[in-house]
Amino acid sequence: MTSSTSLKPLAMILPGLALAILIIGYPIYDLGYASLHEVSRFGQLRDFNGFNNFRDVFEDPLFYGSLIRTLIWTFAVVGGTLALSLPIAMMLNEEFYGRGLARVIIMLPWSISLTMTAVVWRWALNGRAGLFNATLMDLGILKEPIEWLGEANQAFTVEILIGILVSIPFTTTIFLGGLSALPQDTYEAAAVDGATRWKQFRHITLPLMKPFINIAVVLNVIYVFNSLPIIWVMTEGGPANGTDILVTYLYKLAFRFGQLGKASAISLIMFGVLLIFTIIYVLLVMRGEAGAEAEE
Amino acid sequence: MLKKSILFWLILSPLVVVILFPFGVMFVSAFRPREELFTYPPTWTFSEFRWANFAEMWVKTNFGQALLNSLYVSVLSTLLAMILSIPAAYALSRYRFPGKRAYRTFLLMTQMMSPIVLVLGLFRMMVALGLVNTLNSLVLTYAAFNMAFTIWMLQSYFSTIPRDLEEAAWIDGAGHLTSLLKVFLPLAVPAMAVTAIFGFINSWNEFVLALTMIRSSDGFTLPVQIYSQVAGRYQIEWHHVMAATMLATLPVAIVFSWLQRFLIRGMALGAVK
Amino acid sequence: MFHRKVATFAASALALGLLAGSAFAATTVNFTVAEYSSKTGPFYKEVAADFEKANPDIKINIEVVPWDSLLQRLTTDIAGGTPPDISIIGTRWLLDFASQGVAEPIDSYLTPEFKGAFIDTFMKPGIIKGKTMGLPVAASARAMVINTDLYEKAGVKPPKTWEELYQASQKIAKLPDTFGFGLQGKEIETDAYFYYALWTYGGDILRADGKSGLDSPEALAAVSLYKKMIDEGLTQPSPTNYSREDVFNLFKQGKVGTIFTFPMLIPQIKAEAPNLHYAVLPFPVEKTEATYGVTDTLMLFSSSKVKKAAWKFIEFTYQDKYRKQFDLGEGFLPVTKNIAALDYFKTDKDIAGFAAGLPYAKFAPVIANWEEIADTTVRALQQIYLGQVSPADGLKAAAKKINEIRGL
Q: For residue range B56-72, list pLDDT tens digits in order.
A: 888 888 899 999 999 99
CATH number at residue C197: 3.40.190.10
Does residue C376 share a domain with residue C316? no
Half-sphere exposure of C217 (CA within 13 A, CB side): 2
pLDDT at A200: 82
Half-sphere exposure of C212 (CA within 13 A, CB side): 24
User: Rg of chain B over CA atoms, in angstroms?
Assistant: 23
Q: Evaluate whether C21 touches C52 at the Cβ level (below 8 Å).
A: no
Residues spanned by the domain of C220 = 143-282+369-406
Three-state secondary-structure class, residue C364: coil
Whether omega before A211 lies within 30 degrees of 0, making that bond cis, reads no
Does residue C398 share a domain with residue C250? yes
Does residue C397 share a domain with residue C308? no
For residues B21 and A135, what is the distance between their CA atoms, to the nearest angstrom? 10
Nearest to C264 by CA among C333, C199, C198: C333
Nearest to C286 by CA among C349, C231, C217, C230: C217
Residues in chain A: 296
CA angle C397, C398, C402 (to 5 degrees): 120
Residue A276: Cβ within 10 Å count: 10
As a whole number, mean pLDDT of residues A213-227 equals: 86
- Nearest-Cα distance to chain B for A193, in Å, is 23
**Residue percentage of chain B with pLDDT more than 90:** 23
Q: Evaluate whether residue C16 is within a structural domain.
A: no
**Residue percentage of chain A with pLDDT more than 70:** 94
Does residue C313 share a domain with residue C328? yes
Q: Evaluate whether C299 touches C103 at the Cβ level (below 8 Å).
A: yes
Q: Evaluate whether B129 touches A22 at the Cβ level (below 8 Å).
A: no
Looking at the partner chain, which of B40, B232, B237 has a beta carbon nearest the beta carbon of C68?
Answer: B232
pLDDT at A294: 42
Mutate to test the interface with B, among C40, C72, C76 (most CBs of B within 10 A): C76
Residue A65 has pLDDT above 80, yes or no: yes
| pLDDT tier, A128 (very low <50, low <70, confident <90, very high otherwise) | confident
Does residue C255 share a domain with residue C183? yes
Residues in chain C: 408
pLDDT at C348: 87
**DSSP secondary structure letter of residue C23:** G
Q: Evaluate whether residue C54 is within a structural domain.
A: yes
For residues A16 and B104, what is the distance between their CA atoms, to the nearest angstrom? 13
Tally of helices (H runs) and strands (E runs) in chain C: 19, 12
- Nearest-Cα distance to chain A for C88, in Å, is 16
- Nearest-Cα distance to chain C for B242, in Å, is 16
Residue A3 has pLDDT above 80, yes or no: no
The count of domains in chain C is 2
Residues in A closer than 8 angstroms to C255, CB to CB, are: 128
Q: Evaluate whether residue C223 is within a structural domain.
A: yes
Q: Evaluate whether residue C5 is within a structural domain.
A: no
A151-193 pLDDT per residue, tens: 999 999 999 999 999 999 888 888 887 887 777 777 778 777 7
Residue B57 burial (10 A CB sphere; 0-12, 13-18, 19+): buried
Looking at the partner chain, which of C241, C382, C385 has a beta carbon nearest the beta carbon of A127?
Answer: C241
Q: Evaluate whether residue C376 is within a structural domain.
A: yes
C346-379 pLDDT per residue, tens: 888 888 899 888 888 898 888 888 889 999 999 9
pLDDT at C11: 43
Q: What Å distances lie between residue C126 and A239, B163, C102, CA to CA?
A: 32, 72, 14
Domains assigned to chain B: 1-50 (no CATH), 61-272 (1.10.3720.10)
Does residue C81 share a domain with residue C39? yes
A4-36 pLDDT per residue, tens: 566 888 888 899 899 988 888 888 888 888 888
Domains assigned to chain A: 61-295 (1.10.3720.10)
Name A295's Cβ contacts closer than 8 Å, sequence gap at least 6.
Answer: none
pLDDT at C386: 94
Q: Evaluate whether residue C121 is within a structural domain.
A: yes
Does residue C315 share a domain with residue C274? no
Lowest pLDDT segment from A74-83, B251-260, C57-66: B251-260
Three-state secondary-structure class, residue B222: helix
For residues C38 and C67, what is the distance between their CA atoms, to the nearest angstrom? 12
Q: Evaluate whether residue C289 is within a structural domain.
A: no
Answer yes or no: do A258 and C102 touch at CB < 8 A: no
* pLDDT tens for each residue of chain B, 273 residues long: 888 999 999 999 999 999 999 999 999 999 988 878 777 778 888 888 888 889 988 888 889 999 999 999 999 999 999 999 999 998 888 888 888 888 887 887 777 776 777 877 787 788 788 887 889 999 999 999 889 888 877 887 787 777 777 777 767 776 777 777 777 888 888 778 878 887 888 898 888 888 878 877 788 899 888 888 876 666 778 888 899 999 888 878 787 777 766 665 555 444 333
pLDDT at B262: 63
Does residue C149 share a domain with residue C129? no
Residue A293 burial (10 A CB sphere; 0-12, 13-18, 19+): exposed
Does residue C390 share a domain with residue C261? yes
As a whole number, mean pLDDT of residues C174-178 equals: 92
Residue A58: Cβ within 10 Å count: 11
Q: Evaluate whether residue C288 is within a structural domain.
A: no
Does residue C150 share a domain with residue C256? yes
Does residue C350 share a domain with residue C376? no
**Top-confidence residue, C68 or A58:** A58
Three-state secondary-structure class, residue C299: strand
pLDDT at C10: 42
Does residue C81 share a domain with residue C129? yes
Q: Has the ipTM of the complex gone over 0.95?
A: no
pLDDT at C78: 85
Residues in C closer than 8 angstroms to B34, CB to CB, are: 271-272
Nearest to A191 by CA among A201, A177, A206, A178: A201
Q: Evaluate whether C182 touches C256 at the Cβ level (below 8 Å).
A: yes
As a whole number, mean pLDDT of residues C197-226 equals: 95
CA B96, B99, B105, B106 torsion-angle sign:
negative
Q: Evaluate whether C236 touches C242 at the Cβ level (below 8 Å).
A: yes
Nearest residue in chain A measured CA to CA from C237: A147
Three-state secondary-structure class, residue C336: strand
As a whole number, mean pLDDT of residues C307-327 equals: 95
For residues A231 and A247, what is the distance between their CA atoms, to the nearest angstrom? 10
Among C residues 177-206, those touching chain A with beta carbons less than 8 Å apart:
185-187
pLDDT at C53: 95
| pLDDT tier, A263 (very low <50, low <70, confident <90, very high otherwise) | confident
